[in-house]
Amino acid sequence: MSSFDEQGITFSIIPPARYEEARSFMYTHFFPDEPLCRSLGVGQENYLLDSIYIYAALKDGSCVMATNNEDEIIGIRFGKVVNQSDYTFHLVALKYMFWWFSWFVPSSYQFISRILLFNHKINYDVYKMFDDLGDVIYEGLCVCVSVSSRVKGLGTELIKQSMQIARDRGCKSMYLVATGKYSQRIFEKLEFRVLNQFEYEDVKYDNGDIMVCDAREHTKCQIVCKQL
């Protein structure tokens, strides 16, 4: 019996019946503390964030939750399976999304263009990685543990659980950008390979302003991957 079993903690794919609970968990425990989200204006509840980030990942069926012995969610691993067959559509959609969000949408949705710009600045794009990582990739989106339910090793176990799900879904690799020092420690422990890293003070808008201006104790982001 593992230490998690002894503590009454179980891991499972997030089912549709708990999508709304998982959504609420993200707004409470992830967005307020994640440095990129905090700096680029992500975190206020809105339909677009729900649709293109939260529910899109949940409906992919590869997000993991940890629940305690009272069946409360205490940790989440978000991710999605990306296939090479999506490649052409992605390039076209990304181009038009960038211009649309830059010029026409309300200010409450401008975070999308800022995220796209940040990813462009650090050259983060899962759709460019098929030649190196295989034709099916698990893109990690976040790992988050409840502030009130810190359990030693829980974040690491959530990543391990998602790695097994990724293998079951035929993924050759896992690929992501780790934006905080605590998640970076997890990926280092699990022997992820660092492809590149950027000090936040060096990633700037064209006018010279630092993009991630509210990083607190976090100083850099890392693009990492691991063969599965």
Give how many domains the chain has, as a whole number.
1
| Interval 127-184: pLDDT, tens | 899 999 999 999 999 999 998 777 889 999 999 999 999 999 999 999 999 999 999 9
CATH number at residue 109: 3.40.630.30
User: What are the distances in angstroms from CA 113 to CA 3, 36, 88, 124, 224?
Assistant: 43, 13, 20, 14, 23
CB burial of 80-106 (b: ≥16 within 10 Å; e: otherwise) equals bbbeeeeeeeeeeeeeeeeeebeeeee
| DSSP symbols for the chain | --HHHHTT-EEEEPPGGGHHHHHHHIIIIITTT-HHHHHHT--S--HHHIIIIIIHHHHHT--EEEE-TT--EEEEEEEEEEEGGGHHHHHHHHHHHHHHHHHTS-GGGTHHHHHHHHHHHHT--GGG-HHHH-SEEEEEEEEEE-GGG--TTHHHHHHHHHHHHHHHTT-SEEEEEE-SHHHHHHHHHTT-EEEEEEEGGG-B-TTS-BS----TT--EEEEEEEE-
Count of alpha carbons within 13 Å of 9, Cβ hemisphere only? 22
Given this model, what pLDDT does residue 220 score? Answer: 97
Residue 9 clears pLDDT 90, i.e. is over it: yes
Report residue 145 CA to chain centroid gap: 13
Cα separation of 62 and 168, whole Å? 10
| Interval 199-220: pLDDT, tens | 999 999 999 999 999 999 999 9
Predicted TM-score (pTM) of this structure: 0.91
Given this model, what pLDDT does residue 153 score? Answer: 92
Given this model, what pLDDT does residue 97 score? Answer: 60
| Interval 30-87: pLDDT, tens | 999 999 998 988 878 888 788 889 999 999 999 999 999 999 999 999 999 999 887 6
Residue 1 clears pLDDT 70, i.e. is over it: no
| Interval 71-128: pLDDT, tens | 999 999 999 999 988 766 655 565 556 555 555 666 666 777 788 889 989 999 998 9
With 0-12 / 13-18 / 19 or more C-beta atoms within 10 angstroms meaning exposed / middle / buried, residue 34 is buried
Given this model, what pLDDT does residue 96 score? Answer: 55
Given this model, what pLDDT does residue 116 score? Answer: 83
| Residue-number span of the structural domain to which 68 is assigned | 3-227
